[in-house]
Structures are given as C-alpha cells and as structure tokens.
Chain A
Amino acid sequence: MAETAAKVSPRRLAGLAGGRGGAALILLALVVFFAIASEDFLTTNNLLNILRQYSVPMILAVGQTIVIVSRGIDLSVASCAALSGSVMGVAFAHWGWPEPLALLLGLAAGFAVGAFNGFVITRWHVPDFIATLGTFTAVRGIALLVTDGLPVPDFDKVQEGRGIPESSSTLGSETIGRIPLIAVVALVCVLIGALILNRTRLGRSAYAIGGNPDAARISGIRVERSKMKIYILSGLLAAVAGFLLMGRQGSANALMGDGMELQSIAAVVIGGTNLFGGEGKISGTVIGMLVIGVLSNGLAIMGVAEFWQRVVNGLIIVAVVALDQWRRRAGRQAAA
C-alpha cells in the first residue's frame, strides 16, 4: 500500500503541477501567500498597478510565444520596442511629422527588425539565438543613433507645440473607469495572438515547424516564409509595446524596456511552452507573466530588497521549468 502510494503520487502530482497547470498552481500559491503576508497586496489599486506594469512585457511575450512554438527565440524584442518607440517619438516631436505617419514609421521599424531577423535566420541559416542576439545589440545601437542617446522629446530639437504622440499617452497612461487602457491594449494583443496561434494556417504551421520541421516541409508548408512572418509579427508587436512604453513613461528613450526580452521568454517558459518548440499556448504565457508580475510586486510590497527580488525571480524560473521537465519525464515513461 505504502509502496503504491509512493509510486503513484509523485507522478500524479507532477501531472497536475506541470506545464500550464503548474504555473497556475504557483500563481495561486503566490497570491494566497502575499495576501496573507501583506494587507496591501490584495487591494484593487495594487492589482491594477500590476496590470499597468506588466502589460508591455505581456505584449512582447505574445510574439515570443509564437516564435518559441515554431522552435525559434527572439532576443531582440525589447530592443525593437525601444527603437520603434524612439522612432515614433523622434518623427513626431523632432521632425514634426503628422501623428499617423510617425506611428506608421515606428511600426515599419518593428517590421524591418522582424524581417531582418527572419531573413538572416532563413536565408543565411544563422541560428535563431545568434541572429536575434545580434539584433538585440545592434537595434539598441540604432535606437541610440536615432535619439542621440537623449530622451525624446529633447529640449533642443523638439518642434513648437510637440511632445510625445497623443494617442500614445492616452493608451499608455489613461484609464476607463479604473481599468488602465494599456491593459486593454495588451488584452487585445493577447486575443489576436491566441487567434493566430490557434485558428490560422500560420499558427498551425508554427506548431508543425516547431514539432517537426521535416514533416512540415514534406507537407508543403513553406517553412522559411512562415518563420519570416512569425518574426515580423514579433517585431510588429514589439513596435506596439514601444508605443505604449513611451506613453506610459511620458517620453521615449533608446534604453527603455531593458531586460524585458528575458521577462517575455521567462513568461513563455513558465507558462508551459516547450522551449524546443511544438507545444505551448498564449493562455499559458498570460499565467506565466502574472507569476512574474505577482512575485516581483509581492516581494516589493513586503519590503524585500531589489537585489533579493532578482535572485528569487531567477530561481522561480528554474524551479518551474524543472517541475515541467519532471512532468514530461513522467509522461514519457508512461508512454514508453
């Protein structure tokens, strides 16, 4: 009896706790823990604060999910967001472009970064990690060049009566009722991302390419073209993120969003997406991002020093993935 229990229970536990379910359980545990530990945690204000703070990385994580499902990785998303936001700001405030054109130019910058990633990966056969590690650095450099390393709008260059684009400050910092608009935009991105991944040919192709690129090719899926589209999608979502980031901060700069690429990857992985492609869900990533958000916020509220927050954040990523691997192993043994 004791033997049976010992044999069955860890496996069953692992099945329950792994993947998305695992992240959800951890999220629940964190919420309960912080709610008990601090009366300031479970307040409407604080929860809205989390939403406001993690909407931008959430948008990056949507693109990241699709990229990772297709067996890629995009380290350039945060740099791309900074470039797109900066371009929008510079075009609008410094060059005096009409707002729609300035925004379009920023989107074009995101498109270009994604297309460049896709081109280098599919045509020059540079591994995804290396290609986007390159753009991670180079795109920040371009953003610094575009802004001269100064916040936008800059005193000396700003045109009469211009600031950051109005739409960006509205969507980035205002609310309807008490709901921050930035969270609404993030929700729209999440829904669009989920629709693409679940219900379109591109999404299905992403799963096929991630699950078995040879089978995808044999089935007539245009693997290169699909990867190209997926990186462009990631770049465009990053442009939207940059646009909101500028609005939230009230200015754009070349270094904004620092570290968000890692946050987005962490959210994807915590949410149960296989880092080697082929399986994963946007809903999992949402839960993963909430885990990151709740953890950082809760630790801050409890007065844990920022240095320690980093340590805990890092360890939780390792712990969740270890749990997921454990579940997969149990599953494989069951299948063998």
Chain B
Amino acid sequence: MTLLRVRSISKSYPGVQALAGVDLSVDAGEVHALLGQNGAGKSTLMKILAGSESPDSGSVELDGEEISLGSPERARDHGFGIVYQELSLVPQLSIAENVLMARWRPGRFGRLIGWKQTTAEAERHLRRVGYDTDPKRAVSELGMAERQLVELAKALSTEPRVLLLDEPTSALSDREARRLFEIIRDLTEQGVAVVYVSHRLQELVAISDRVSVLRDGELVDTVKTRDVDEAKLARMMVGRATTLMSEPDAGREPRSRGAPALRAAGLSRAPRLKDVDLEVAEGEIVTVFGLVGAGRSRLAKTLFGLEPATAGSLEIQGAPCIVRSPVDAIGAGMGYVGEDRQGGLVPKMSVASNITLASFGHVSNGPLLDFDAERAEAKRQVEALSIRTTSVDVPVSTLSGGNQQKVVLARWSCSGARVLVLDDPTKGIDVGAKEEVFRLVRRLADEGAAVLYLTSEIREARALGDRLLVMANGTVVATVDPQTSEEEIMTAAGGVARG
C-alpha cells in the first residue's frame, strides 16, 4: 500500500536544476533507497520531505491526501522523521534532553520541565533502538556510533510514519551498521516507511526493497532491489558502464618496489596507538584496513605530526626524521589527506590558493606572492589531475566532493611530496568520483610516490593495495596479500578488535 507519493517535484537554485519533475512512491513497511552521485538531487529531495526546503512545483501526498510541508515542524506533525548525515545533537546536553529536544515533557509544575518524565520517555525511545544506557549522560561522552543511535531515537520519538535516513552508516563500523539494519527491519515490520540514502551500494542491496536512482535531478528509474545487482545500480548512477572496485585487478603488473620511502618502527602514541611497524617503498601502495576504532586515523595523524608520536622512530626517504608537527612532515616530503575533506580545504579560498597553500615557495617572487605563477601552477595541476572546475579562481567550495578531494591531492602534487598518507580520502564521495581518485592515487604511485592508503572499506583496501596491512586495537595485526579473501581479512580485523 502506497503511503508516501511524491508527484513531479521540481526545485531549482540559481544556475542549478536540483530536481526536475521527480516522482516517487514509498509503501508502508518498505525500505526505499535513494541512490545517486553527489549533486544528483538526493539531498534536496530529503530536505523537501523534511520540510527544510520548499519545492518550486509538484506535490507530496500522504495516504492519498495532498499535504504541505512548509517547515520542519509541519513535516514532523505530518509524520516525517529525519536522521541527518551531519549529526544534529547538542553535545553538552544529556542524551534524554537531545532525544526529546524542544519537546521536553512537563512535570507537575505546569510549564516547568519535568526531568523525571523526560528521562523516562527518552529511555523508552532508546530501548526501541536497542541502546541501553543512562539517559542522563552527556552526549559529548559518546562515540560516533552511539550518537547515531541517539539521533535515531530522537527521530523515532515523534512516532514517524516515514523515516528519512541520510547516510546513516557513514560513521559506523560494519558491525554497528548491521545493528542499525536490524532496527530498520523492526521498524518496517511496524509499518514505518523508510527512505534511505547511501553511497554504499553493498549496503543498499542488503537493506532495501526498492531503489530509486537519481541522476542530474531526474529520476532514472525505480527498480526492485532483488532484480538488480551492484554493477547494474552503479551503471544507472553514472549512466555508463563502470568497473566496480570489487575485486583486486588481477591483470595489473605488480609494482617494482623501489627504495624504502617511509619506515616506522615501534611508532606509538599512548594510549591508543601501539608499536606500529610499517614500511612503504617508492612507487608502492600499501593499504591499511581497520574497522572504526582500530586506530587507522590516529596512525595517519601520528605519521603526519598532527598527533606527535610518544615513542618509536620514523625514517623518511632513508633519513631519520622527528615529526612533531605537519611542518616537519611536509619538510621531509610528506603529504596528508584526511578523511574529512572539509578539514583539508579553506572553503572560501580559490581553487588556485588551496592548491598552492603548502607551496608558497613555488609561487613567490621574493617576499611577495606571484599571482601569475600561482595561477599557472594551479592550472597545471588542475589539468594533470583532471579536476573539474570552471576556473582556478572560483572558491573551492563550489566544486563537487570528489573534485574537492582531488584539490587536496593536487596540493601535495604541487608541493612535490614523495610520501602520501591518505586517510579514507574517498569517504562520502560517489562511485564515479571514487574511481577517479583511485586512478589518481595509482598514477601518483606510478610516478614514484610512496602511498599509505588507510580505509575502512575492505574492498578498497584489496583493490588498491600492493600490500595490505590490517589494523586492530591500535596496532598492525597482520600483513597480507591483497588477494586474500575478504572473510579472512575481516577475521583478522574483527577477531581482536572490539568493534
């Protein structure tokens, strides 16, 4: 039975047609996945359903009746609940206060907040998502996965009939994601309709009943999930055939290993990073796979001096090296891309300035910056890395996610870095852009860079690496051939790790 029907919704922003006459129908008790590249219109559609944006034209029907969703409050009253990609919790407040945000229950004294009643009700919603904890704890004490559960309990506290989930697993480990799926199934059994946005194809195939694919603001098609596979979905998304990074490229020539470019021995940062030994040669890609909490990001940050090591030694290009800050690391020829691309870019600065940010020396004329040299250097990088931008002078925030990440890579190509530490650089970018980043990483390695690529996606680790390190509990627990089966790698990563 159709619960939610969206009829030819359109929305345009100056210069962009975000949605062009999109139709969508979602049944009660269904998990309906929305799939599309960045900029395809998924987020806009979600925002419209959540009431935070109004469509230019088109209508939304619930139970066959046309409704108007002018504001988040109105949408909530109509039975829409949303879990946003960026968590919307107030860390200083307690779990209970967050769950019932702005709907705190009255107590015995009329308009004053009744904390006992509020806590009790919050506890009830938390139980629904299977999260057993003291609701009086501050959200700031919680990890990302726990926060996600609080966020979900918050959305459920309004008893939604349609639950909108925007990339709910981006902060979760596989195990936590599975827990989330169980909760989603429980909800659909109670007749809740779930609209689910994610980039992770594997996950969509596992959880959804139907998939609607959007491309450039238009609906490509809505298909039953059991009739398609991941490759088909990926094709629908990009509109062309694409190789999925599912298996290691068997035909690829093994890289000849050059001189060791990065070598760490006993690298530690108490208490979470313990005794890491690793070596990356020139022209080699070493991938590091670890579940959330395994210490991947911490290793990357320690290598780059963002969180200086407390013990151990580091050799870069054969020379012993003490890295206390990124300045030291860059000086030794290292470059770093973090998992949060927002963290690496200055959004309002131009593409050119972002590219040259770590190489003032190359674009200066005496004490003054040379704008012509800067622009020329930036243009060279934009071309070499095929960054799609209208000009190098536009703010970098106007670029798509994948192209923003390429700008960060271009920065290190520009600075002449020989050792690249890449921490989940494809997180949150779409399949097409991911592939381009992979190609780029391979090319940088072919040109002689030593690449340490850290990821929480097992497929990426297998597909990209010449060697694969598995991390758990803050240390490297295994070094394996990338051809090793996923199950075996996962066992190494999960056997010791506690999620």
Contact = CB atoms under 8 A, between A and B. Distances in A.
Contacts of A217: 306, 326
Of A199, A211, A220, A333, most B-chain CB atoms within 10 Å: A220
Contacts of B358: 219-220
B13 A335 contact: yes
Interface in B66-101: none
Contacts, number: 78
Interface stretch (B23-31, B169-177, B364-372, B381-389): B364-372
A222 B327 contact: yes
A5 interface: no
A334 B395 CA distance: 14
Nearest to A203: B369
Interface in B333-350: 336, 338, 342-349
A278 B13 contact: no
Interface of A: 11, 195, 199-201, 204, 207-208, 211-212, 214-222, 278-279, 333-336
Given A215-B343, A217-B326, A218-B306, A204 B353 contact: yes
Contacts of B338: 218
B346 A215 contact: yes
Contacts of A214: 343-344
B364 A278 contact: no
Interface string B243-260: 000000000000000000
B369 A201 contact: yes
B326 A336 contact: no
B346 A218 contact: no
Given A200-B368, A201-B360, A218-B336, A207 B346 contact: yes
A126 to B, nearest CB: 21
A336 B13 contact: yes
A220 B368 contact: no
Interface size class of B (residues with CB under 8 A): 20 to 34
Nearest to B346: A211
Interface in B416-446: none
B330 interface: yes
Contacts of A199: 368-369
Nearest to B53: A336
A215 B367 contact: no
Closest 4 pairs (CB-CB, A-B): A211-B346, A220-B330, A219-B357, A219-B358
B398 interface: yes
B414 to A, nearest CB: 11
Nearest to B374: A204
A336 to B, nearest CB: 6
A204 B369 contact: yes
The SS class assigned to the B binding surface is mixed
B343 A218 contact: yes
A122 to B, nearest CB: 13
Given A215-B345, A218-B343, A336-B13, 18 more contacts: A199-B368, A200-B369, A204-B353, A207-B346, A208-B349, A211-B348, A212-B346, A214-B344, A217-B306, A219-B330, A219-B344, A219-B411, A220-B327, A220-B329, A220-B330, A278-B349, A333-B13, A334-B14
Nearest to A207: B349
B397 interface: yes
Nearest to A199: B368
Contact of A221 (B306, B357, B369): B357
A221 B14 CA distance: 36
A211 B367 contact: no
Contacts of B110: none
A195 B415 CA distance: 25
A278 B348 CA distance: 7
B348 A201 contact: no
Nearest to A279: B348
B64 interface: no
A218 B348 contact: no
Contacts of B15: 334
Contacts of A211: 346-349
Contacts of A195: 368
A201 B362 CA distance: 12
A217 B331 CA distance: 13
Nearest to B334: A220
A215 B360 contact: no
Contacts of B360: 201, 204
Contacts of B306: 217-218
Contacts of B349: 207-208, 211, 278
Given A334-B14, A335-B397, A336-B13, A201 B357 contact: no
Contacts of A219: 326, 330, 344, 357-358, 411
Given A335-B13, A336-B13, A212 B347 contact: yes
Contact of A208 (B53, B346, B364, B369): B346
26 contacts: A195-B368, A199-B369, A201-B367, A204-B353, A204-B369, A208-B357, A211-B349, A212-B343, A212-B347, A215-B343, A215-B345, A217-B306, A218-B338, A218-B343, A218-B344, A219-B326, A219-B344, A220-B331, A220-B358, A221-B357, A222-B327, A278-B346, A278-B349, A279-B348, A334-B15, A335-B13
